[in-house]
Amino acid sequence: MLLTREKDGALASRTVRDGRTGQFRAAAIRLARRNPVAASGVLLLTLVVLLAVFAPLAGTVDPDAISPIHRLRSPSLEHWFGTDSVGRDLYSRIVYGTRVSLLIGFSVAVLSTGIGFLIGLLAGFNRLADALLMRIMDGLMAVPPILLAIALMALSGASVGNVIMAITIAEVPRVTRLVRSVVLTLRDQPFVEAAHAAGTRGWRILFIHILPNTVAPLIVQATYVCASAMIIEAILSFLGAGAPPTVPSWGNIIAEGRTLFLVAPYIVIVPSLFLSVTVLAVNLLGDGMRDALDPRLANRM
């Protein structure tokens, strides 16, 4: 009796699981058919994330292992993407570089949407705070983001944490403006006025009527911020103002290859392509989500 029941339970749970994977597969197929652009973005991004997570298992060697005898080797079976000027395996450095780029892209996206969201909300609800905060944001936005990040990095010293901080500060004003404009438009909508008239408290209006409506544009914005953060990271490293040269970030690999460009162009080209494809994947995902979540945004952004 007990045995059969266990069996039944196992069977039941398996069918449930099958049902779930079946549903997931169906959803995936539906997404691919209705929105092939977003689906290809998701697919590419998944591959890149898997590469980052399983970097040690992806046929890599120690990315920092120096081997002067093997320096500047062209791509071969032993070194798939060749070696750099001190004989480090480029394939391994690029695969580990995926981790750095994704870490920076995702951290900046989360941090700047989080901070921008709070500041934008405050500005949207409080006139005094609005006047003050928006003057500061206008000032920050008057500095081109790359220069702002360069200035911050020039002072704070090379580290991955500082890169994340510098790019976050450069991205926050745009998120703030977006959130504020959404809040300001929503505040005057009839359904919010109706809620006011019905005696709903301020914080309840905020949580039930305003917050849910900021989610869609904010998610879309976060993907664009992520893409732009990965590009700015590479640019900072390229200019010598990014993560310390020992960190195998894509920008650092490209920066090291800069002086050897005519001798060994692959040192610049291969990581550049990795970077571009990853950024492209994130952008495709963002465009797909924008179209899916709110078609009206398509013309606004």
Partner 1 sequence: MRYVLHRILATLPVMAVVAVFVFSLLHLSPGDPAAIIAGEFASPAEIARVRVSLGLDQPLHTQFLVWVTRLAQGDFGTSIFSDIPVTRMILQRVEPTLSLTFLSMLITISVAVPLGAIAAWKANSIIDRLVMALAVFGFSFPVFVIGYLLMFPFAIWTDLLPVQGYVSLFEDPARWLRHLVLPSISVSLVFIALIARMTRASMLEVLSQDYVRTAHAKGLPDSKVLFKHALQNASVPIVTAIGIGVALVIGGVVVTETVFAIPGLGRLTVDSILRRDYPVIQAIVLVFSFAYVLINLLIDLSYKLLDPRIRY
Q: How many angstroms separate the CA atoms of 238 and 218, rounded? A: 30
Interface segment toward partner 1; rule CB under 8 A; list 95-103, 108-116, 209-217, 293-301: 293-301
Using the Cα atoms of residue 16, residue 21, residue 22 and residue 28 in order, give the sign of their dihedral: positive
CB of 73 to partner 1, least distance (A): 20
Give the residue with the Cβ less far from partner 1, 192 or 220. Answer: 220
Tokens linked to 240:
């010598």
Determine, following the binding rule CB under 8 A, whether residue 231 of this chain makes contact with partner 1.
yes
CB of 12 to partner 1, least distance (A): 46
Pure H helices in the chain: 2-34, 36-53, 90-125, 127-141, 145-156, 160-187, 190-197, 202-205, 211-239, 250-258, 266-293, 297-300
Residue 260 CB neighbour total at 10 angstroms: 15
Determine, following the binding rule CB under 8 A, whether residue 46 of this chain makes contact with partner 1.
no
Determine, following the binding rule CB under 8 A, whether residue 81 of this chain makes contact with partner 1.
no
Determine, following the binding rule CB under 8 A, whether residue 59 of this chain makes contact with partner 1.
no
Determine, following the binding rule CB under 8 A, whether residue 118 of this chain makes contact with partner 1.
no
Determine, following the binding rule CB under 8 A, whether residue 58 of this chain makes contact with partner 1.
no
Residue 232: is it exposed, middle or buried by C-beta count within 10 angstroms (0-12/13-18/19+)?
buried
Query: Which of residues 28, 154, 215, 263 is near partner 1 by CB under 8 A?
Result: 154
Radius of gyration of the chain (CA): 24
CB of 152 to partner 1, least distance (A): 7
Query: Which of residues 55, 94, 238, 290 is near partner 1 by CB under 8 A?
Result: 238
Residue 105 CB neighbour total at 10 angstroms: 25
Determine, following the binding rule CB under 8 A, whether residue 151 of this chain makes contact with partner 1.
yes
Binding site residues, partner 1, CB under 8 A: 135-136, 138-140, 142-148, 150-157, 227, 231, 234-235, 238-241, 254, 258, 261-262, 265, 268-269, 272-273, 275-277, 279-280, 283-284, 287, 298-300
